[in-house]
Structures are given as C-alpha cells and as structure tokens.
C-alpha cells in the first residue's frame, strides 16, 4: 500500500458527523426522512450519520458511477435504481461522499425530483468547490477541501483504500 498523508483523522470525522446528524435532526425533528445513500463511496458516512441521527429515518441505496481511476469521465451512469413509491411525497436527503464536478449530484437530484418528493436536500461529507462544472451545491457539507484526490472512509482509488478509518491523500 502507498503512503497516505492524513487530512482528516477518525476523530475529526466522528465529531463532524455527530454535528451533522444533529443539524439534520434540528431541521426535520420527527418528520420521516428517506435517506438515499449513494454506493459505494458514501456507505461509511451514511452509517455513521444514521447511527447518530435521532429522528425517524429510512435508508435506501442508489448506485451511480462516473469515475475511472482518479479521472471523472463526466458521463454519469445509474447502476442501481429506486422505485417511485419510495420517493413520492417523502422528505428526501441524498447522502454523498464528495461533490467534485457536480455532475453526479445534478443527475441524482433530477432523477429523484422526477419522482415527486415532498422535499429534497443533499448532504455531502466533502466538497471540492473549485472543481465544479455545473451549478449545484449541497445543503449540508462536512468539510471543504482543495483540488486533491482523496481516499479512505469509503472513498476509493480504483476500488481500494475504502477501509481506511481516516481521509487522506495518496503520496506519490
């Protein structure tokens, strides 16, 4: 395994995730929320976020892909879909690992909006604002980062490094 330069420790992530869970609870209270976790990158984040969430939550999964190695292809593909009954008239929160060009999120928001949810919001653990190609922002963000390719805590490089308990950059 290559050496990794740590950006956010397990403790940094843990603390921030707890704050985000509370922010969400403050926003929704006991109204039902259908959380949509995007596979595979957001899985660790979604689990921790929901374990700390005190409201009425459901959990669903969607799978999209746009990356090959560390390059975005710009073309978003849906690999696992969701049925309309799950989304219609519900409060939806999309859980993302990272917003980069914004193409994935734009695609997902349009896809889910077409199923007539009551409301739709986005939470992302990481945001690379300087890389945005389309006009979309998350409603809740864990950490802002520079234009770096990061791995760990669910994020991969060619499907590896997801199991790191912290987030970092591969040293070349």
Asked whether position 100 contacts Mg ion by CB under 5 A, the answer is no
Contacts of 164 (CB under 8 A, 6+ apart): 4, 151, 152, 153
Sign of CA dihedral 25, 54, 98, 105: negative
Q: Report the residue from 8, 20, 33, 41 that binds Mg ion according to the rule CB under 5 A.
A: 41
Site string for ligand IMP, 29-68 (x = CB under 6 A): ------------x------------------------xx-
For residue 139, indicate whether it is catalytic: no
Among 97, 117, 125, 167, binds ligand IMP (CB under 6 A): 97
Q: How far is the CA of 149 from the CAs of 19, 72, 170, in angstroms? A: 25, 11, 8
If one asks whether residue 97 binds Mg ion (CB under 5 A), the answer comes out as yes
Site string for ligand IMP, 112-141 (x = CB under 6 A): ------------------------------
Question: Under the rule (CB under 5 A), what is the footprint of Mg ion?
Answer: 38, 41, 97
């Amino acid at each position: 395994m290559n050496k990794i330069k740590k950006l956010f420790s397990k403790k940094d992530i843990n603390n921030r995730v707890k704050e985000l869970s509370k922010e969400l609870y403050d926003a929704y209270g006991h109204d039902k929320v259908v959380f949509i976790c995007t596979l595979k990158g957001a899985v660790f984040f979604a689990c921790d976020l929901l374990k700390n969430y005190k409201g009425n939550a459901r959990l669903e999964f969607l799978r999209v892909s746009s990356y090959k190695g560390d390059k975005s292809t710009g073309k978003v593909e849906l690999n696992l879909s969701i049925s309309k009954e799950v989304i219609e008239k519900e409060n939806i929160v999309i859980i993302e690992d990272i917003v980069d060009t914004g193409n994935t999120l734009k695609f997902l928001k349009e896809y889910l909006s077409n199923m007539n949810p009551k409301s739709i919001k986005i939470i992302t653990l990481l945001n690379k604002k300087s890389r945005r190609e389309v006009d979309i922002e998350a409603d809740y963000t864990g950490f802002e980062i520079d234009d770096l390719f990061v791995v760990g805590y669910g994020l991969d490089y060619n499907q590896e490094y997801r199991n790191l308990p912290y987030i970092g950059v591969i040293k070349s």
